[in-house]
Structure 1
């Protein structure tokens, strides 16, 4: 096989491929085996018709498309490897020649990974903010712990308040006609969570167990279901149960229940250390993000739309997975938020562009600095992963090698090592504290 690559624009080029006659013949043989299993030829069972009779009846040309479908993916992949290019989108294929006894010729117009011209990437200034834990932050942390250990208590008397969890039936209709997704029984709704159509939860606040109410709302004009967008709806709501969080008292007993310490004072001291460590880690993450963003801004790269579109799709899948982990899915989210898939994708484009740009620049820095991932690096990562997955590092390596993910792990480690390099070679400067200017009265 012969393959040549010619760039015609920054990220666009043409791959010209010629495939030897022997492989064309082999592909035609495979196509005949496939097609003959379904061919109806009088006097022969399916799959038993001789090749010569098949070709005289249907023509050898009837095998061409199947043969191309069999051969093209294989030779295209081989041509990409031989010319050392990195396609980022499906190619546009133009068949120049395909016939029995002839060389197979085709051209592929291919969008490839863009070239990156690095600017300054060492000595980049990164602002550093001192890590301080205030009493207010410590109290907020304790408050979150109280929430985590709170008990849900059924409210026998009184009315629903924001933060309560209500168990409700609802039956929605527009102009008296029920609509899909507008009905549910014993649905658990946390008031104030803003998961329902605007105005719905506010009207449930103040209701008591056993109450019935017609909740009137208006679907947003941007609602994903066009037949409901902008329309008024009535939901018949019944309250089955109201549950309210009962927070534990912050005392020594609480400290004993949630920690290894005997007193609340000791626990708060340890908690302060935990918060400091977490904030230091968060601050490091912020500095990493800042240095990568700065280095990416100083680089030159023209990103193909196909790469941004692909990243948006990846972000959409991640978002859907996060929603499912919370007991929701993308369809439900769009229904409640009044958005369309296109709206969400449009919102993600900016972040997608930034992600792609940063990753491309990090890859180029890694090449420029010869940053390598050793087998020892991979082993350490697998050992760290083994604690989370409760499987040995050897087992995890075998699994990743089996599903082809070990290379992805290698790339992830490489990116992290590159970010560490940039951060260790950056110049830390004190973060500027922004203060409001004094008013004319204050300055007098």
Structure 2
């Protein structure tokens, strides 16, 4: 098989493929022999229809069958022969198939760039970890109390912030109910910011059995076009009020946790957990800074198909966040070109980072063993109180093991990189760390 390769761009290869006429002829012969066994033509016994008659009646159909059988294999062979690993499905055009002649076609494939990662050894970074202060421990303990709070029904007072209210509501526009704008026995925490803000605020001061009309104005860019820019009057009725009763922060409370006997011991455990979280956050920031420098230092071209897919995933993620539903078939095939203006540069940098990390993974010889995956699954099972074996089977079914493998590979790549660099640790205050984050976010 004859193959000519042209580098159209750094990540695009154009292959002109010619399949020998002999191979094409054999495929035509096989198709016509199969056709002879199947078709019935008046005046001829089954299997005895002359080929020339079949060619007159079925030439176009047979050509398409030959193409369907021959072209995919020929394309795969051409890619293997030339050592090309395409990203996505190559585009095939300029197909020329004629009985008795060679099959010719052109395939355009996107490929990963051929590059070497620039020298990174000796890079210097500062890992900044937040100082854990007593107020942080106090806040952590308060969150623990919140988790153990009990809800008690009250009927002798009005709703206050922090209460849980059960309500019925109906949205009205121009005196008519709006579709899907109602709810029955809906529970919400007043002031938590997880429901419509105007309704949460409007409930304060109401008692059980009270009713109130609460106007809610939706933004011009609201996801539901019928509500965008409109003011909806929600008729709200209070069904029930519950207040949170938090446990006392004492030794008895501390003993509800394993291996803790006193409140002081619980505070120390909280400090250790917060310091561990601060170290993890510092590591994450360090990895982001390192990846950003790798991308800046290696401005490689990447296959556009990967950028398109990343833009699609950004769109689908935003859709899930805004609507709370899974994307439809039409959503999965959305035209992503309009997203390039706002997200194209971000997508380019993200894909560059992924390609660079994949190359470093190979260069550094990073491999994840089955034992390491099993250990990660066991850790997940312990955190979520699940059976490790059952969890592993579930992850095998939904592709979760590959996600874990990828996460472990990335972690090992970063660790191998960091081992070649100069990393200094610095303890900073929460205010200083927040200021650094704000400054970084403000940079163009």
Q: 1:95 to 1:31 in 2, by over 3 A?
A: farther
Equivalenced residue count is: 414
- 1:371 corresponds, among 348, 357, 365, to 365
Quote the Cα distance in structure 2 between the aligned partners of 1:122 and 1:412. Answer: 23
CA drift of 1:123 comes to: 1.3
TM-score, normalised by the number of residues in structure 1: 0.76
Q: 1:107 to 1:373 in 2, by over 3 A?
A: same
User: Does structure 2 conserve the Cα–Cα contact (< 8 Å) formed by 1:124 and 1:291?
Assistant: no
Quote the Cα distance in structure 2 between the aligned partners of 1:360 and 1:64. Answer: 40
CA drift of 1:132 comes to: 2.9
Equivalent residue number for residue 337 of structure 1: none
User: Does structure 1 conserve the Cα–Cα contact (< 8 Å) formed by 2:172 and 2:234?
Assistant: yes
Quote the Cα distance in structure 1 between the aligned partners of 2:109 and 2:410. Answer: 26
Question: Which stretch shifts more, 424-433 or 402-411?
Answer: 402-411
Equivalent residue number for residue 212 of structure 2: 213
Q: 1:319 to 1:193 in 2, by over 3 A?
A: farther
CA drift of 1:397 comes to: 9.6
TM-score, normalised by the number of residues in structure 2: 0.76
User: Does structure 1 conserve the Cα–Cα contact (< 8 Å) formed by 2:130 and 2:427?
Assistant: no
User: Does structure 2 conserve the Cα–Cα contact (< 8 Å) formed by 1:171 and 1:178?
Assistant: yes
User: Does structure 1 conserve the Cα–Cα contact (< 8 Å) formed by 2:168 and 2:238?
Assistant: yes
Equivalent residue number for residue 6 of structure 2: 6
Q: 1:240 to 1:432 in 2, by over 3 A?
A: closer
Once superposed, what is the RMSD of the aligned Cα atoms? 4.3
CA drift of 1:70 comes to: 5.0
**Structural mapping, 1:15-54, within 5 Å:** 15-20=15-20, 22=23, 26=27
CA drift of 1:396 comes to: 5.3
Question: Which stretch shifts more, 116-125 or 264-273?
Answer: 116-125
User: Does structure 1 conserve the Cα–Cα contact (< 8 Å) formed by 2:150 and 2:245?
Assistant: yes
User: Does structure 2 conserve the Cα–Cα contact (< 8 Å) formed by 1:118 and 1:300?
Assistant: no
CA drift of 1:210 comes to: 1.9
Quote the Cα distance in structure 2 between the aligned partners of 1:58 and 1:78. Answer: 32
User: Does structure 1 conserve the Cα–Cα contact (< 8 Å) formed by 2:24 and 2:101?
Assistant: no
Equivalent residue number for residue 361 of structure 1: 356
CA drift of 1:12 comes to: 2.0
Q: Aligned with 2:374: secondary structure? A: helix
Quote the Cα distance in structure 1 between the aligned partners of 2:276 and 2:119. Answer: 31
- 2:423 corresponds, among 407, 428, 444, to 428
Quote the Cα distance in structure 2 between the aligned partners of 1:9 and 1:157. Answer: 75
Quote the Cα distance in structure 1 between the aligned partners of 2:304 and 2:268. Answer: 52
CA drift of 1:237 comes to: 2.0
**Structural mapping, 1:252-331, within 5 Å:** 252-315=251-314, 328-329=324-325
Alignment gaps of 5+ in structure 2: 328-335, 382-386, 436-444
CA drift of 1:27 comes to: 8.3
CA drift of 1:256 comes to: 1.0
Equivalent residue number for residue 164 of structure 2: 165
CA drift of 1:146 comes to: 0.8
CA drift of 1:239 comes to: 2.1
1:73-117: per-residue Cα shift (whole Å, max 9, x none)?
444344334433343344332032123444332112222223445
Equivalent residue number for residue 439 of structure 1: none
Q: Aligned with 1:14: secondary structure? A: strand
Question: Which stretch shifts more, 418-427 or 269-278?
Answer: 269-278
Q: 1:431 to 1:52 in 2, by over 3 A?
A: same
CA drift of 1:246 comes to: 1.9
